[in-house]
Structure 1
C-alpha cells in the first residue's frame, strides 16, 4: 500500500477513499484460546462485570475482566475469492482481436481458463483476505463490514476458542458498509448486544477487539474522541476514537464499559496505513437498524419522503423570520409522497415524526429509519406559520432516481439589481437555455465580482423563479419583493434559483 497524506482515508486496496481495514494479506495462524472461555449463557448476551458498569467512569485498573467477558463473541473472518490475473509471457492481444477466439479454440495456454474477450491469456487464482466481526445472537448471526466479505466465494469464521465454521451472507448494505452473516452451530453461541451510541460521551472509555493485520485476536483501548462524524455516505454517523485500529480490524466491535457494542470499526485516517489514533466506528444506533432489516428481509427498506433539501443558513432564517437556523429547507418537490401531501418548495421542515429536525442530515436519517408505507406527522414552516402534514412514506430503494426540471443561460436588455443584471425569461431565451417555452422567471445575465450575488455563488444563466417565496416574472416583481422585505425590517431577500435543472434557495443582502 502506498503512503497517502493524513487527509486521505485509506482502503484495503490503497486507494484514497473510505478506509477498508481488512487487507488482502496472506492468512496467518491464530493461536487458539482456552476452550473454556468460549462457554456461553444460552439466553443472555455477554456483558461486562458489575465492577466495570459505573455511571461515572474512572480510570479502570484493568480492562482484563471486560475482555474476558466479551471476547468469546468476537470472531476473525477469512474470505476467499477467485481472481483472474494475466499469464506472464503470453501474447497480449488488442481489444476486439479475432485471434483471441482462435487461441481459445485451439487451447492456447491461459485462454481455456477464461481469458477475457479481446485480451491476453489469464489464469484464475485464489485470493485470501482477513477481517473481524462479532456474534449478535445465540443462533449464529454475525455482523461485519460489507467490504470485508464483498466478492467472496467462501467465508470462514474463526471463534475465540479456535473453532472454525463456514458462513453464508444473509444480507449486506453498501451505504453503511454493514453485512450480516450466519453460521450453523450445534450449540448456542456466545453473543453480545448493541448499546445506545447516542449515550456515548466524548471522553468515555472504549475497547476495540479484532484481528489487526492478520495477527489474530487483539485488544486496544482508548476514549471516544468525537461523535457524529460524517465521512462520505448519506447515512454516516461515526464515532471517532483513539483506540488503536488497523487494517484487519474492519467489522470488529467497539465496546463501552458495560460490554455493549456502540460501534463497528470501519475506517482510519492515516498517512501510512497504520493507526495514528484517528479511527472511526459506525454508530450502533445506525448499525442495529440495518442489521434488523437485513435479518428480516435480506435487504434494507428505507423510508422515502420525495423532496430535495438544503441547510437553513443564518441569512435564510433571517429572511424567513425564523427564530433559529434549524431544520431542512425544501428546494423542490417532485412526484412522490411529499407532493401528494401538499408539501411545497420553500417549506422548512422543522419536525418529523414528533422529533425536531436539526439539519438536512438529521432529516435524511430519520426518514430512512421510518417505516415504509406508514403515515408520519411532519411539521413545516410556511409563510411564517407552522403547517402540519401527514405523509405516507415510500421506499427509497425503489423510488431512487426521480428528478425535476427547469434550467438556464443568456440575454436581452438587462437591468442591474443586487449586484447582478437580469432579464425576463422569454420563449426564445427559454429555447436557448433548454427549458420549457412556458417557463417564467428572470435570467441572470452577468454578476458583479464584488457584489452580493457573487458572494452567494450566482452566475450567468441562473434563473430566478421566486423572490420572497412568491413568483417573479419581471424586474418590477423583484423590486416589489425587495421593498416588502425592507418594510418588514429584513436584511436579506430569499430567492429561488434554478441552475441546470437543480433548484436552490439563496438569501441575498438588500442593505
Structure 2
C-alpha cells in the first residue's frame, strides 16, 4: 500500500513539474511572439462561440459585446501654448472638420483632449492614433470598468498616424485581429469609441471604399516640416513619407472616435478610425480607418525593434490615367509610371528604369499609389517582393530586395513641465524608444543589463541633451534596466528633478548623464 502511495505521489510531482516547466516555456516563448500570434494562442486555449444571427438579418449584438469592453477612453494633457499650426491637440482631426485655426497665448494653462484606443493584448498594449497622443505630457486611460490608469508611449509613427501605448495591467479584454485584405466593399462594419464627450458608443455602417487616400497625413507631416525647418513658402521641396490606404465607411464617426476600432460583423478588428471628411465639423458620411494589417506590423515593430522598420523600393512614381499617360508619352493608361529611381536603391539594383510602368506587386494588380505604399509598408528591409512592370509594351517580372528607410520626418514641439510628474509622464518626456539589449550586444559591451535607444523624437529630453540612437543604457537612477517597464519603474526614483543615466557606448567606456526634467525650454 505504501509503495502504491509513493508511486502516485511521484507521478503527481512529476506531472506538476512537467506542467510548470511547460508554462514557464510557454511564457518565455510568448514574449517573442507577434501580437497576432499571442492572440491566436489565447483563442486556441479559450475558444469563442461563432457569431450568427438568429433571424438571418444583420445583428451586431454579439460583435458589440465582444469589442466594447476592450475600447478605452484616452485623455491627454498638453502644454498651454499653441501646438503646430493650430490651437488644440486635435488639429489633424479639426482640419477635416473645417474649424478655424486659432492660436493660443504661450501663457495659457495646460489643455486637455480626448480620443479612443483599443486594447490588443491582455497585458495592456493599446493601439490609438498618433495625433491622439503626440506631444502629450500626460496620458490617462479610462477602462470600461471606470478605472483610470496612466499610460506610457511605446512608439509613434506619424507616417501612418498610429501609436502604441501601454498600461501596467493584466488580464484585460482585447479585440481579435481580422484581415484587412479580406475587407469587401458593402460589408457591414461597426465603429466603437468615445465621440463628442459621450461614453462608449457603437455605430454601424458599411464599407464604402478601400485603398482611399485623403492627403490628411501628408498635410500634417508637411506642416510639421515647415515648423521644424522654418519654411515660409510652399515652393520649398518637402519630404512626403505619408502612407494612406484608408478603409472608407459610412458608420458614424465624430471627434473622440480617433483611435477607436472599426470591426466587422464577427467582432474582428479591421481598422483604426483616424479621420473624417466634412464641411461642418461633424459627421457628414465619410469616415476613414487605417487597415489592421498595417496596425499589426507597426505594433510588432515597436515591440521587436523599438521603431518602425520601413523597407523602400527606391522609386518616385506617378499614377497613370489617359491625361498623365499623354504627358509622359506612354501608351499605358493604368499602373504606376516610374519617374525616377534612387541611385543605389533597391529598384535600380533590380534593373528598373525611368519610364517603366509597374502593374503588379506579388501578382496583385496595382492601380494607385496607395495600393503600393500600403503593401510595401507592411514589409521590412531585406524582404523581397516580386514586381511586374511593362517596358516597350512587354510585361516583365523582377524580384526587388527592399532597403532600409533612414529618412526621418519625426517632429515634436518642446513641452513645458509641471512641478510634479509621475514615472509615466517622465518616461513620455524622454521622447525616446527602447528595446532590450540583445545577449550578443551585452556580451560585446561586457554588461549584464541594458536597453538600446532606438528612437529619439525631436523636442524630447533625449533630443535636447543629445542622447544618440544606439546608445545602450544600463542603469536609470541607479537601477539596472532590461525593458521599457524597468525604465519606467526606475524613473519613479528621480530625485530633485534629475534623471541619472548610465550608458555604455563601447566596451570599457562608461558615460554618466544627469538630465534635469524641469528645465527652460528652447524657443
* TM range, smaller chain: 0.5 to 0.7
Q: CA deviation at 1:222?
A: 2.0
Q: CA deviation at 1:41?
A: 12
* Residue number among 186, 194, 206 corresponding to 1:223 in the alignment: 206
Q: CA deviation at 1:146?
A: 0.8
Contact 1:49–1:66 (Cα < 8 Å) also in 2: no
Query: TM-score normalised to the size of structure 2?
Result: 0.55
Structure 2 equivalent of residue 44 of structure 1 = 43
Structure 2 equivalent of residue 59 of structure 1 = 57
Contact 2:245–2:370 (Cα < 8 Å) also in 1: no
* Residue number among 184, 207, 210 corresponding to 2:190 in the alignment: 207
Contact 2:142–2:149 (Cα < 8 Å) also in 1: yes
Contact 2:211–2:370 (Cα < 8 Å) also in 1: no
Secondary structure of the structure 2 residue equivalent to 1:44: helix
Distance 1:183 1:331 in 2: 46
Structure 1 equivalent of residue 517 of structure 2 = none
Structure 2 equivalent of residue 172 of structure 1 = 156
Contact 2:294–2:377 (Cα < 8 Å) also in 1: no
Q: CA deviation at 1:58?
A: 4.9
Distance 1:399 1:343 in 2: 25
Q: CA deviation at 1:122?
A: 5.4
Matched, 1:277 2:285: yes
Matched, 1:295 2:303: yes
Structure 2 equivalent of residue 372 of structure 1 = 381
Matched, 1:235 2:253: no
Contact 1:303–1:395 (Cα < 8 Å) also in 2: yes
Distance 1:257 1:47 in 2: 18
Q: CA deviation at 1:249?
A: 0.9
Distance 2:268 2:73 in 1: 19
Contact 1:141–1:183 (Cα < 8 Å) also in 2: yes
Secondary structure of the structure 1 residue equivalent to 2:109: strand
Q: CA deviation at 1:321?
A: 5.9
Structure 1 equivalent of residue 437 of structure 2 = none
Matched, 1:391 2:400: yes
Secondary structure of the structure 1 residue equivalent to 2:110: strand
Contact 1:172–1:298 (Cα < 8 Å) also in 2: no
Closer, same or farther in 2 for the Cα pair 1:162/1:137, shift >3 Å?
same
Secondary structure of the structure 1 residue equivalent to 2:381: coil
Q: CA deviation at 1:221?
A: 1.7
Matched, 1:130 2:129: no
Closer, same or farther in 2 for the Cα pair 1:391/1:237, shift >3 Å?
closer
Distance 1:356 1:42 in 2: 34
Q: CA deviation at 1:172?
A: 0.9
Structure 2 equivalent of residue 343 of structure 1 = 352
* Residue number among 331, 334, 345 corresponding to 2:342 in the alignment: 334
Query: How many aligned positions are there?
Result: 321
Distance 1:349 1:245 in 2: 35
Closer, same or farther in 2 for the Cα pair 1:124/1:165, shift >3 Å?
same
Q: What are structure 2's unaligned runs of at least 5 residues?
A: 1-38, 83-104, 219-241, 410-523
Closer, same or farther in 2 for the Cα pair 1:42/1:183, shift >3 Å?
farther
Larger Rg: 1
Closer, same or farther in 2 for the Cα pair 1:67/1:314, shift >3 Å?
same
Closer, same or farther in 2 for the Cα pair 1:399/1:341, shift >3 Å?
farther
Closer, same or farther in 2 for the Cα pair 1:77/1:339, shift >3 Å?
same
Richer in helix (by share): 2
Contact 2:319–2:367 (Cα < 8 Å) also in 1: no
Secondary structure of the structure 2 residue equivalent to 1:176: coil
Q: CA deviation at 1:287?
A: 2.3
Closer, same or farther in 2 for the Cα pair 1:80/1:362, shift >3 Å?
same
Q: CA deviation at 1:245?
A: 1.2
- Give deviations 1:75-119, integer Å, cap 9, x for gaps: 01011122248xxxxxxxxxxxxxxxxxxxxxxxxxxxxxxxxxx
Secondary structure of the structure 1 residue equivalent to 2:190: strand
Closer, same or farther in 2 for the Cα pair 1:206/1:390, shift >3 Å?
closer
Q: CA deviation at 1:340?
A: 2.5
Contact 2:212–2:370 (Cα < 8 Å) also in 1: no
Closer, same or farther in 2 for the Cα pair 1:168/1:42, shift >3 Å?
farther
Q: CA deviation at 1:358?
A: 2.9
Secondary structure of the structure 2 residue equivalent to 1:125: coil
Secondary structure of the structure 1 residue equivalent to 2:186: coil
Q: CA deviation at 1:375?
A: 4.1
Root mean square deviation, CA, Å: 3.2
Matched, 1:78 2:61: no
Closer, same or farther in 2 for the Cα pair 1:297/1:195, shift >3 Å?
same
Contact 1:146–1:172 (Cα < 8 Å) also in 2: yes
Q: CA deviation at 1:379?
A: 3.4
Distance 1:127 1:155 in 2: 12
Closer, same or farther in 2 for the Cα pair 1:309/1:128, shift >3 Å?
same
Distance 2:408 2:198 in 1: 44
Q: CA deviation at 1:263?
A: 1.6
* Residue number among 155, 159, 168 corresponding to 2:143 in the alignment: 159
Distance 2:145 2:135 in 1: 27
Secondary structure of the structure 1 residue equivalent to 2:370: helix
